Structure 1
Amino acid sequence: MGKTTVNLEPETPFHTLTVDQVAQHYNTSILEGISSEEAAQRLQTYGTNELEGDGGIKWYKVLWRQFANVLVCVLIAACALSFATGDYAEGGVIVFIIVMNAGIGFWQEFSAEQTMEALRNMSSPTAQIIRDETRVTVPNNQVVPGDIMIFEDGDVIGADCRLFEVFNLETDEALLTGESLPVQKNLELIESPEQPLGDRLNMVFSSTTVVKGRAKGIVTSTGMKTQIGKIATSLLQADTHESTPLQKRLNKLAWCVFIAALFLVVVVFGVHNFVYSKEVAIYAISVSIAIIPEGLVAVVTLTMAFGVRRMAAFKAIVRRLSSLESLGAVTNICSDKTGTLTQSKMVAVRMWFPADGYYRVSGTGFVPEGEIFRQGEVAEDSTNEEKVDTGAGSNSYLRAIQVASLCNMSELRRTQHPETHGEWSAIGDPTEIALQVLAHKAGLPKPDLVAQGFNLIAEFPFDSSVKRMSVLYQAPTTAEGPGDHFIFMKGATERILSCCSAYREGDKEVSILSEKGGSRTAFESMIAEKMETLAEKGLRVLTLAYRKFDVVPGVDLVHGLVREEVETNMVFLGLVGIYDPPRAESRPAVLKCYEAGIRVHMLTGDHPSTAAAIAKEVAIIPEDVPVHNNPLIMTAAQFDSMSDEEVDRLAELPRVVARCSPDTKVKMIAALHRRKMFATMTGDGVNDSPSLKAADVGIAMGQSGSDVAKQAADIVLTDDNFSTIVQAVAEGRRMFANIQKFVQHLMSANVAEIVILVIGLAIKDKDGHALFPMSAVEILLLNMITSAPPAMGLGLELPSETSMREPPRSAKQGIFSFEVVMDTFIYGLAMGILSFASFCIVLFGFQDGPLVGTDCNSHWSEGCDGVFKARATGYTAMTLLILVHAINCRALREPGWTIKNLKTLNTNNTLWLSIIIGSLLVFPVLYIPGFNHTVFKHTYLTYEWGLVIVDVILFILFAELYKFIKRRTMKPLSGGTDAETEMDRMRTYTMQGDSVLEVKATK
């Protein structure tokens, strides 16, 4: 638009300026906003909309965490002991290992923290603004002065704004003023620049919350220039660095390892009769180092960071790391329908009026192009359809279109932006957009009616507790005088009917108790029949009503009306059927849930027949089961009326709950928890916060969700898509399985080293000292250079083919399941025994034994050459066995050395590169003269390579035999079911019925 930036003093009293003055100051338009190019320029001028010092990553804290753990403390103690005993080479290597470990850990964790910080910013309260003439959602920190911001119920306001459009707006400003009651806003100009903050009623302020209503405003201040910025306080600070359950379990492991290390040190000194010597101390250091998985912290950090990034890649933002660990245990998914299982591309396709019968509406999306046809009393009578001319129709029809148009806060217009000129755009709730498109097709769009003189006086916004919305309009003034006042209403049918005392038939208003109606019950039954006809087609049914409103002199029509009094004696107009087609990916995602042993529940505010129709389309329930008297399908009234004991007696919880309220969601979660299930719950509204917090994993909608819901959730979906939830569960399973893989790999190596060193205590040299089968530096190299990189590769493994065909793991199941612990010790023993056997064969079979040289633990000599060769053989064998074992750890039971499995290594570059590089590193460690003798206390190999190769072959054969035995003797991991089996089970349950449901249904 070519608008220029206007710099203002931060103390400008915007509450004393008119809307036009504020718009002129910032060179903005309240209809079109500013352009994206101008916004980018202003972002450079004013800075991002953030508070200084809010959250952020402290590099020194991340660095400190690399040293502040038990494992590193043991290494530091070993390093100090090495220097104290004069072994400077070993002490230097330990220092290098500590620094390298800290460096790798710092880099990984700092990168992970930066990723998490970026994701926290993405999931923090966003702003709805108008830019380039289109309503868009942007992160709060991208808002600039001059933006046109839109607020709705439940939003956290992202900047200070001067209001220019208000409908029943109330905000919670306790953060700024300490006032506990909500503040009702208006547009009245305030003359005093010194007006107290709490009395600036034409302004809203950053970090306050919309309690009620909606509004639009011009952004006047951002970042530190806002009122909240001036007092350096923020309601929306970033999450603290809190340990996740996994990290807590690993901390416990660290303490167990520390205690075990101390025990082994005592054992070493006990074998030497507690006589201190340099050799005994060094051996004790070696043993304590051998049991420590030094790379564990770095590998966990890398796996977490990779998991978070993968989740973000398929549009799931992790707000709490603990939820990433919990997803693999999910047994039930409770999902909303609109926008999650469906496309949220609503279009009005059917109508029904008492006098006219059914209407069909053509066209798709929010492009107002289509025609309206009257069908009469038969909903599908396309042969006798009669086209309705634009702007024409019966009185009932025209009045209903008028209600759909005016009881509506959405906006529909063609953009004038050069890049999108002529395209239709819509702002507002998808349901209201569908009604506004219908009004355009009928020739009565809201802008035209407003231009004719319809004037909005008051609004009672949609509320989930009443499930309806009402507006008070004054009709156009005529030559005869001011126009009449009318209440227009739309909402859920049962909530509208309870407010109605008459219905519209042509140009007459007929009492529900008239001869045709007979009684309220008869009339409601007739409406229920018509609504059922529409709902069975998968249509969401809204009801329209109106009445003439008699103004009482002296009553404030803006603030003096009581909703309960206004919404009475309404006149029923008709029904509108809105279709929201399911997402193409919803049905395959639900079927995948069945294979994974996960049950899906739909909790929606729609009519039971509508909900059931969509549930059948996406395979939540079988297509051939009845809707009525089906225990799988309940209304919220039925479900809520049951006691906890009655709910617990149900053989199965309902798969579809219609007319659902926020309290119903909480009750469903509680019922699942009593059945020891692990559940996720989706939500988008302010009132969904309790259920999101009650669920094991709360998932908020990023597009349609309120900021309050996002703050209460553990995960935010940026695409509001059910299939993303299933992908998130798969990712949770992948991450948990990978953690088990790399922990098993690391701990197996530690067990193997302990086996060698403990058995090695029995071998004495000529001076009576224990002979080291491995030096401390060799052990450090095995743990950090050989074992850690493949473990990192295992942490990055892609999901296995069977991960989503296995039952959910128990929520109480930790990393160390019986199978993982058994594998750790069996593989560790096998590697340790093979390596020690090679050491002994070389030492006693090919060399002169341990009694030739002197001080062979510390120095090389001719007499110690045999010991050094044996040590080199054992070290090389252990190195290759650890690398080979990484292939075994890719699957608990599946063969690791099949051609198919080896081919999949190319999907994990980190793993196969770490194996190749780890193997190649053996050669410089063995063959660099001086370096091998002085630092590692071993020498080069010749014919001993034959033993090493035999060890590798034997270990591979042993591992495959061991997995074969496990597959034959242990319960299969796969426990999901195919879709047809699940459908048959639901059909059987439906046929059996349920006495509890039948009793409640008749009440």
Structure 2
Amino acid sequence: MTQNIVDLQPEVPYHTYTISETEAHLKSNIIEGLTSEEAAVRIRLHGTNELKGSGGVLWYKVLWRQVANPLVVVLLIANILAFATKQFPEGGVILFIIIMNATIGFYQDFSAEQTMDALRNMSSPTSQVIRDESRIVIPNSQVVPGDIMIFEDGAVIGADCRLLEVFNLETDEALLTGESLPVMKTLDVIKNAEQSLGDRLNMVFASTTVVKGRAKGIVTTTGMGTQIGKIATTLMNVDTNELTPLQKRLNKMAYFIFVAAVVLVIVVFAVHKFHYSNEIAIYAISVAISMIPQGLVAIVTLTMAFGVSRMAKAKAIVRRLSSLESLGAVTNICSDKTGTLTQSKMVAVRMWLPDDGYYRMTGTGFAPAGDILRQGEPNDSNLHAQEERITPESSTEQLLRVFQASALCNMAELRRANHPETHGEWTAIGDPTEIALQVLAHKAGMPKPELVEDGFQLITEFPFDSAVKRMSVLYKAPSSNKKKDTEHLIFTKGATERILACCSHYRDGEAEIPFKEKSDAIHSDFVSTVMERVDHLAEQGLRVLSVSYRKFHPTPGTDLVHGLDRDDVESNLVFLGLIGIYDPPRAESLPAVMKCYEAGIRVHMLTGDHPSTAAAIAKEVAIIPADTDIKNSSMVMSADKFDAMSDDQIDALNELPRVVARCSPNTKVKMIAALHRRNLFAAMTGDGVNDSPSLKAANVGIAMGQSGSDVAKQAADIVLTDDNFATIVEAIAEGRRMFFNIQKFVQHLMSGNIATILVLVVSLAIKDKQQDSVFPLSAAAILFMNLCYSSPPAIGLGLEPASETNMTEPPRTSKQGLFSFEVLMDMFVYGIAMAVLSFVPFILVLFVFENGELGYKCNVTYSEICDGVFRARATCYATLTFLILSHAINCRDIRQSGWQWSRLKTAQQNKTLWLAIVIGAMILFPVIYVPGLNKNVFKHEGISYEWGLVFGMLFIYTAFVETYKFVKRRTMA
């Protein structure tokens, strides 16, 4: 099929065009859609289907964030003060640090923003279109004029379209028109070219929502050419600067530290009796700066962006950063069954009809190859004898109606590809359950296209609704009575108990019999008989649907499209039979559930299936034990029973049910509320429009990316692109890894800062001949240490792979937050230990090896009398540097040794950390030995024997840490 590019005019009044005129104008094909090649050409011509000027990542805003914060302000003040007092070396170092900090922060922040922006776009609403003769799902941004778009209940419409097919379609256009009521759509041509938007009933518009029904349309305009693009370029209101609760806590911590830094400045001046000098001022500012973990916010952003990227590769798209923090605390997962725990590759394998008993169907997949074999009732001697193969010619009227209901009460499409490279493979479009029924109809020789050709014409449809759990269609059918031209038939399918509630008769051969009329054993209580058969099929893990029909005699003058009441249509139906559909569990579901149990996470299955079906699958994937008696176990409960319980009754249960069957959206909300009352942290999966409340109520809402509606995706925190339960478990593991990594580098930064502060403050007591404090570290050294020895290893800790116990420990509680008692205790213990072990060499060199020669003005310039001070200062600097670098290895695990082999062998997985440590150690030597740089900038002198003290302190610190962790493992739970 070849097509030509058309130069579209945005103001073309497509509502005045017929369907064929629209198709011709846009040079499209309403059956086959565009080709991929044609779509690629059109997207280059018309651009992507996006609103322009909606923001994106603006580099200057990211750069401003690096400057406009109190931490950088302190550095700027110090820089101005240094140059004003002609302390040019210190001023140069501070300026270099400001530029480097801003550069690194900008790069990290800008990269993180771009990553998050790209990932948010990945989870933006999608569209179903027909391309290359197949229905596919594409991002809205890739929709082009001429695409054939398909709309279903809950979809967010991706572009302005002229409707081609309509079945009870209603859309919410309040965004455009302000009209709060849904708008019923038609295909009628509207003559008035100036008709208002709200009255263009044959059009649908971008960003509006389908609230009912389904339809097809041809895309007329995209991007800024749409109606929403003309009047609202600010609709894309995703806040790319949204702060998570963790970031807010860290910001509060930064402000607290800022106040503490100001107090330290006052302390430094107070020790010097508020005597002002350039050196004291610079030192005071440097002490204040050493209190501030300058790269903290940037490292948090980088760690989160890295975690989000990893999750995207694992097919979990993060829509809200706050969900990353929540994932690590999840205690319960409430999961759907179909497509999440199972493969969603359904095939109809069994049937039961009241007059014939059981049938067995062979064949798998979408290909309509296989047989339909009659077996009979369990007490029928033919059941285990030769099975009878059913052909179209041997089908009874009972079977014909079942196959008609399967084919016609069904929106799925079964196609055989015409492309040579596909070798004529069968493909399917639609809901997996409906595909299974459509394949069954094809096997029976009654495919939907042939029935339509024979005269079956769809008049109206009542789509599947999770509240009523059934779907009905009204067809005009060729009459079985030769005296009449046509007759009307209603076909209904759905959950068995909901279908039986609408039925008054059942089909027995050629007769339609009231439920209570016959007296033989099989028919004396027909409803009980049917439910026994349902249980029998469900216990085999089959999803059981019931089908029914009735002849419909409309009152003359009735509007059959819009004038029918659903309750009237779905009444006095004739029960036809049961169809059992098998959906095998995913191979990865069982290991994923077992991993949840190892991690202290409980899994609940909330499904619309029959209790026996749900329980059978739950046993296969280990949600409930294999020997569970579902009739007497509280682990399996129907939604009717669960919904009828009061909150007090639910709270009195020893354990919430693991399986809730025949579940409605309200049941999910009730389950989340019950979990919250038990102070549990819940993740909830969902795919439908009605799942939005439960997705929002859950601590982490997880939408299905393939089968989920756009409304559900927008309500969710995370979108699974593969609809796989195992992906949820991977996401939780990533959430745990990220949280603990943040805890690791916060501990590393803060304990290093505490050590530096203690060394600087305690040393104020050491006075020279002029009664000025002898500084153990120069201002430049303090600043350089923060930049080169603290932040890079912290970045490496943020990228640390998960520990072996990541998914074998229970979820963290509210008491085990980022700043838990143990973490705070560790910060001060490690900080004090590093401070003592750094200050001791300073004292030894100064008072033991250099005979206490303190000189004067040794904080300003080098002289022979200051040689001992300069060597002691270099020794203190080297010791503290090595302790901070080695402390990064210590922080890899809060209780286990960072030097254990299982940790060390992961060096290849975290080269960033080891590279930061090695480079940090190498940078130390120029600071101490390069002439001019050492004495003039860092106030150091080259050292020799002092290295023995440095490495001795490093050995003592390592031994202390290992002893401390050993005691913690023995004494702390």
In the superposition, the TM-score normalised over structure 1's length comes to: 0.95
Instruction: Note closer, same or farther for the CA distance 1:236–1:387 as it changes in structure 2 (3 Å cut).
Output: farther
Instruction: Note closer, same or farther for the CA distance 1:291–1:233 as it changes in structure 2 (3 Å cut).
Output: same
> Equivalents in 1 of 2:664, 2:148: separation in Å?
33
**Cα shift at 1:225:** 0.5
Instruction: Note closer, same or farther for the CA distance 1:302–1:382 as it changes in structure 2 (3 Å cut).
Output: farther
Residues 399-425 of structure 1: per-residue CA shift (max 9 Å, x gap): 101110110111001112343251111
**Which one of 563, 566, 585 corresponds to residue 582 of structure 1?**
585
Residue 474 of structure 2 aligns with which residue? 472
**Which one of 689, 694, 697 corresponds to residue 694 of structure 1?**
697
Q: Which amino acid aligns with 2:500?
A: L
Residue 769 of structure 1 aligns with which residue? 772
**Which one of 792, 795, 808 corresponds to residue 792 of structure 1?**
795
Residue 218 of structure 1 aligns with which residue? 218
Which has the higher mean CA deviation after the structures are superposed, 480-489 or 509-518?
A: 509-518
Instruction: Note closer, same or farther for the CA distance 1:186–1:421 as it changes in structure 2 (3 Å cut).
Output: farther
> Equivalents in 2 of 1:520, 1:492: separation in Å?
21
**Which one of 395, 398, 404 corresponds to residue 397 of structure 2?**
395
Residue 924 of structure 1 aligns with which residue? 926
**Which one of 693, 705, 708 corresponds to residue 711 of structure 2?**
708
**Cα shift at 1:725:** 0.6
Q: Secondary structure at the match of 1:461?
A: strand
**Cα shift at 1:235:** 4.2
Residue 816 of structure 1 aligns with which residue? 819
Residue 545 in structure 1 maps to residue 548 in structure 2: yes
Residue 891 of structure 1 aligns with which residue? 893
Whether the 8 Å contact between 1:186 and 1:201 is mirrored in structure 2 is yes
Residue 618 of structure 2 aligns with which residue? 615
Whether the 8 Å contact between 2:854 and 2:869 is mirrored in structure 1 is no
> Equivalents in 2 of 1:905, 1:947: separation in Å?
28
Whether the 8 Å contact between 1:390 and 1:441 is mirrored in structure 2 is no
**Cα shift at 1:77:** 2.4
Residue 595 of structure 2 aligns with which residue? 592
Residue 192 in structure 1 maps to residue 192 in structure 2: yes
Whether the 8 Å contact between 1:326 and 1:811 is mirrored in structure 2 is no
Count of residue pairs the alignment pairs up: 970
Which has the higher mean CA deviation after the structures are superposed, 110-119 or 894-903?
A: 894-903
> Equivalents in 2 of 1:900, 1:114: separation in Å?
35
**Cα shift at 1:516:** 3.6
Whether the 8 Å contact between 1:207 and 1:234 is mirrored in structure 2 is no
> Equivalents in 2 of 1:903, 1:518: separation in Å?
72
**Which one of 522, 525, 531 corresponds to residue 525 of structure 2?**
522
> Equivalents in 2 of 1:735, 1:851: separation in Å?
48
Residue 324 of structure 1 aligns with which residue? 324
Q: Secondary structure at the match of 1:910?
A: helix
Residue 642 in structure 1 maps to residue 645 in structure 2: yes
Residue 3 in structure 1 maps to residue 3 in structure 2: yes
**What does 1:19-38 align with in structure 2 at a 5 Å threshold?**
19-38=19-38
**What does 1:3-82 align with in structure 2 at a 5 Å threshold?**
3-82=3-82
Q: Secondary structure at the match of 1:9?
A: coil
Q: Secondary structure at the match of 1:310?
A: helix
Which has the higher mean CA deviation after the structures are superposed, 80-89 or 291-300?
A: 80-89
> Equivalents in 2 of 1:117, 1:3: separation in Å?
35
Which has the higher mean CA deviation after the structures are superposed, 19-28 or 595-604?
A: 19-28
Residue 975 of structure 1 aligns with which residue? none
> Equivalents in 1 of 2:25, 2:39: separation in Å?
15
Residue 734 of structure 1 aligns with which residue? 737
**Cα shift at 1:189:** 1.1
- Which consecutive residues of structure 1, in runs of 5 or more, have no partner in the other structure? 972-1003
Whether the 8 Å contact between 2:882 and 2:921 is mirrored in structure 1 is yes
Residues 563-583 of structure 1: per-residue CA shift (max 9 Å, x gap): 111111100000000111000
> Equivalents in 1 of 2:9, 2:75: separation in Å?
58
Which has the higher mean CA deviation after the structures are superposed, 142-151 or 475-484?
A: 475-484
Residues 332-362 of structure 1: per-residue CA shift (max 9 Å, x gap): 0000001100111111000000000000011
Q: Secondary structure at the match of 1:966?
A: helix
> Equivalents in 2 of 1:521, 1:286: separation in Å?
92
Q: Which amino acid aligns with 1:871?
A: R
Whether the 8 Å contact between 1:467 and 1:495 is mirrored in structure 2 is yes
Q: Secondary structure at the match of 1:176?
A: helix
Whether the 8 Å contact between 1:334 and 1:601 is mirrored in structure 2 is yes
Residue 679 of structure 1 aligns with which residue? 682
Q: Which amino acid aligns with 2:386?
A: N
Residues 816-849 of structure 1: per-residue CA shift (max 9 Å, x gap): 1111111111111111111111111111122242
**What does 1:417-496 align with in structure 2 at a 5 Å threshold?**
417-476=419-478, 480-496=483-499
**Which one of 410, 421, 426 corresponds to residue 412 of structure 2?**
410
**Cα shift at 1:74:** 2.1
* CA-atom RMSD in angstroms: 1.5
> Equivalents in 2 of 1:579, 1:382: separation in Å?
22
Residue 311 in structure 1 maps to residue 311 in structure 2: yes
Q: Secondary structure at the match of 1:915?
A: helix
Residues 447-476 of structure 1: per-residue CA shift (max 9 Å, x gap): 010011111111111111111111111112
**Which one of 588, 602, 605 corresponds to residue 602 of structure 1?**
605
Whether the 8 Å contact between 2:113 and 2:240 is mirrored in structure 1 is no
Whether the 8 Å contact between 1:32 and 1:133 is mirrored in structure 2 is yes
**Which one of 775, 778, 781 corresponds to residue 778 of structure 1?**
781
Whether the 8 Å contact between 2:52 and 2:233 is mirrored in structure 1 is no
Which has the higher mean CA deviation after the structures are superposed, 348-357 or 805-814?
A: 805-814
> Equivalents in 1 of 2:821, 2:578: separation in Å?
60
**Cα shift at 1:811:** 3.6
Q: Secondary structure at the match of 1:727?
A: helix
Q: Which amino acid aligns with 1:182?
A: P
**Cα shift at 1:944:** 1.4
**What does 1:65-464 align with in structure 2 at a 5 Å threshold?**
65-233=65-233, 235-378=235-378, 381-390=383-392, 392-464=394-466
Q: Secondary structure at the match of 1:710?
A: helix
Q: Which amino acid aligns with 2:433?
A: T
**Cα shift at 1:276:** 1.9
Q: Which amino acid aligns with 2:262?
A: L
Residue 949 of structure 2 aligns with which residue? 947
Whether the 8 Å contact between 1:764 and 1:850 is mirrored in structure 2 is no
Residue 504 of structure 1 aligns with which residue? 507
> Equivalents in 2 of 1:383, 1:207: separation in Å?
59
> Equivalents in 1 of 2:266, 2:534: separation in Å?
80
> Equivalents in 2 of 1:408, 1:718: separation in Å?
26
**Cα shift at 1:381:** 3.8
Q: Which amino acid aligns with 1:541?
A: V
Which has the higher mean CA deviation after the structures are superposed, 827-836 or 209-218?
A: 827-836
Q: Which amino acid aligns with 1:492?
A: A
Q: Secondary structure at the match of 2:464?
A: coil
Q: Which amino acid aligns with 1:354?
A: P
Residue 964 in structure 1 maps to residue 966 in structure 2: yes
**Cα shift at 1:938:** 0.8
> Equivalents in 2 of 1:851, 1:646: separation in Å?
78
Q: Secondary structure at the match of 2:169?
A: strand
Q: Secondary structure at the match of 1:220?
A: strand
Whether the 8 Å contact between 2:462 and 2:472 is mirrored in structure 1 is yes
Residue 837 in structure 1 maps to residue 840 in structure 2: yes
Q: Which amino acid aligns with 1:460?
A: F
Q: Secondary structure at the match of 2:696?
A: helix
Q: Which amino acid aligns with 1:430?
A: P
Residue 755 in structure 1 maps to residue 758 in structure 2: yes
Residue 877 of structure 2 aligns with which residue? 875
> Equivalents in 1 of 2:434, 2:737: separation in Å?
41
Whether the 8 Å contact between 2:516 and 2:525 is mirrored in structure 1 is no
> Equivalents in 1 of 2:278, 2:384: separation in Å?
99
Whether the 8 Å contact between 2:523 and 2:529 is mirrored in structure 1 is no
Residues 195-249 of structure 1: per-residue CA shift (max 9 Å, x gap): 1111111110001110100000000100001111111345443235221011111
Which has the higher mean CA deviation after the structures are superposed, 613-622 or 67-76?
A: 67-76
